[in-house]
Amino acid sequence: MSERFFSEEPVVGSEVWLRGAEAHHLLHVMRARAGSEVLVFDGSGYEYRCVVREAGRSEARLEVVERRMVHREPPLELHVAAALPKGERQAWLVEKLSELGAARLIPLETVHGVVVPGPQTVARLRRIAVQAAKQCGRTQLLEIAAPRTWQAVAASLPSGAMGMISHLAGGRPAASLLVGGRLPPQIHVAVGPEGGWSETELTLAAEAGWQVVGLGARILRVETAAVALAALVVLLAEGRAESQPERRS
């Protein structure tokens, strides 16, 4: 795969300008010059084969020579709500959810949470999501949503979607909810903080229609539980999609 770059602005027409960190990487790390060929994506699902036409010190003008829709997303939409772990474990969480194809990460504000996510945290995680998409070949970004309380997230489970909340102390095995039957087009999973969910938060989940699920007898870190649930959902969904016989026209 060619080197990939992200355009903050939607690509319209036959010209793309790269500036900021993406231009720096193109011009000073990759040392691209006029005539160099790269791939650009803008989060829309399209990928653009481009040729560098002008290479300045801090910006580059690229010509689009091919535009194509690239579908690398799972067959369902996965939303992950998680109480953020500390430090660099946040970056690992965003990277792995991006690689798995999750559509959205919602940083949670919970009773026992150890991290209070602010604007700077969200901005940093969005930058990490861009880098992760570049690496794994996605043409759509993992959305990093604004932080929300668990009460707000629990109450906003869409009609027709499945909601699973991970809880060490009980609940049916997560896989048992996903085997057999038809998977909904949208699945929401929630992972609490290292201090666990409060009884009030669990009650809110039950009242809003979330299913309490377990991930085994071992204590998992927040990011491990979130990625395990995401992987379970995505791999089962993709496996089912691949096993479906092709429709004949």
Residue of 59, 67, 87, 54 lying closest to 12 (CA atoms): 67
Q: How far apart are CA 195 and CA 43, in angstroms?
A: 35
Q: How far apart are CA 211 and CA 209, in angstroms?
A: 7
Which phi and psi angles does 113 have, rounded to 5°? -65, 145
Q: What is the pTM of this model?
A: 0.90
Tens digits of residue pLDDT in 127-176: 999 999 999 999 999 999 999 999 999 999 999 999 999 998 777 888 88
Q: How far apart are CA 129 and CA 124, in angstroms?
A: 9
The confidence score (pLDDT) of residue 202 equals 95
Across the chain, which has 249 residues, the per-10-residue mean pLDDT values are: 84 93 90 91 95 90 95 95 95 98 97 92 96 94 97 96 89 82 92 94 96 90 96 91 56
Tokens (6 digits) for 162: 């499945």
The confidence score (pLDDT) of residue 247 equals 46
The confidence score (pLDDT) of residue 181 equals 72
The confidence score (pLDDT) of residue 169 equals 72
Long-range pairs of 120-127 with CB within 8 A, sequence gap ≥ 24: 121/84, 121/90, 122/146, 122/147, 124/90, 125/90, 125/91, 125/94, 127/21
Strands 59-69 and 46-55 come out as antiparallel
The confidence score (pLDDT) of residue 62 equals 95
The confidence score (pLDDT) of residue 1 equals 43
The confidence score (pLDDT) of residue 244 equals 64
The confidence score (pLDDT) of residue 94 equals 98
The confidence score (pLDDT) of residue 248 equals 41
